[in-house]
Structures are given as C-alpha cells and as structure tokens.
Amino acid sequence: MSSTRFLPFTCMIAAIACAMLAATTGSTRAQAGRTMAIEDQPGFIPDARDEQLPAAYQRQAVFYRTNEPAGTIIVDTADRYLYLIQGNNRALRYGIGVGREGFQWQGLLSISRKAEWPDWTPPPEMIQRQPYLPRFMAGGPGNPMGARALYLGATIYRIHGTNQPQTIGSAVSSGCFRLVNDDVIDLYGRIPVGTKVVVRQRPTL
C-alpha cells in the first residue's frame, strides 16, 4: 500500500502539535503579564501542593547569553525570571513574583545582607495601603518574607521567599522579588554577600 495515502493524516497530527505548542507558549506569556490583586497574608502557611510551580517557573538550567560574569544575578521583571549566571552562556533560572504597576524599578545593586527566616517590619507606606498588617512579625513559615531574604544595597527592596506561592509569575509586590521557599533557600546557599544584582525591565528577546 502506498505511504502517500497517510500523508494528510501525518500533516494533521503535525498541525495539532504546533497548535498545542502555540497555545502553551501563549498561556505562559499571558501568565507572565498578569497583575494579581492580592494582599499580603501574614500567618498563612502553604502546603507542599501549593509550592508546586507550573513548569515554566520551576528552577532549571537554561541557555542565557550575557557579558556578566559568573555569580551575577540578573532579574528580568518583564518575563518574571531571576537568573544566576553560571558562565559559558548558562544560567540557573528561577520563577519570581515582581512589583505590581507603579512599583517596578531597574538598576544595579549588590547583596548587602543575608538572613534566614527573617523578621518582617512592613514600611509605613505598606501599612497605609493595608492597615490590617502587623507592625512587626517574627520570622517563620507564616511570615510573608519566607525562608530567606537577600537585601539589596541600602534600599528597602529584597529578594525573599513567600508564603503565597501562587503569586510567582505575577506582578503583585511592593517592589521586592519573591521566590518559593525551596528556590530562595537554593539561591541563598549559592551566593555570598556582595553579589552583583542587575534589575532589568525590558522584555527578553
């Protein structure tokens, strides 16, 4: 039997596969562009299922072309990723939550301090927006700062964990960058104080 009779069916399968890939890519892009209307939840403790991120935001080694030296952190606020540069055009990529509209920024800083299970003192501007927040909260699983914090220069901004893993991939914070606790613990163990941090707002091409 001639194989040409099966050509239309083969083409149909290929077309379906391409459509599924396009839909998945589009869905990821749409998620990366979302702003979540969600407030901080001090005291909430997520379970293990909550910490399971979509594949696009799971920690993974990726190809990443840059002139920055190994050990540099690059934060891509447009695509919701943090990259730890490994050298030879490779990086570890982490999914993050970023500042919502009006709270995004860019610049060059360095890690000035590291803390495990940090305490949380919401700044006055945050309390004004969310009056129900505690004025101080000791570190722990229900703390919105999560398991680790990396302080950025002399600013109020930090790279930190979160007790709201569902916000990864979204614009939701007041300018800090949040990771799920497993990821921020991994990052914390890989970098020293003094690490260079480049924050960018432009989309990845």
Q: Which residues are catalytic?
A: 160, 176
Best CA proximity match to 199, nearest among 176, 171, 166, 173: 176
44-49: list long-range contacts, CB under 8 Å, 24+ apart: 44/142, 44/163, 44/164, 45/141, 45/142, 45/163, 46/163, 46/164, 46/165
Query: Looking at residue 172, what DSSP letter applies?
Result: E
Q: Does residue 56 sit in helix, strand or coil?
A: helix
Do residues 96 and 177 lie in contact, with contact meaning Cβ atoms separated by under 8 Å? yes
Do residues 197 and 112 lie in contact, with contact meaning Cβ atoms separated by under 8 Å? no
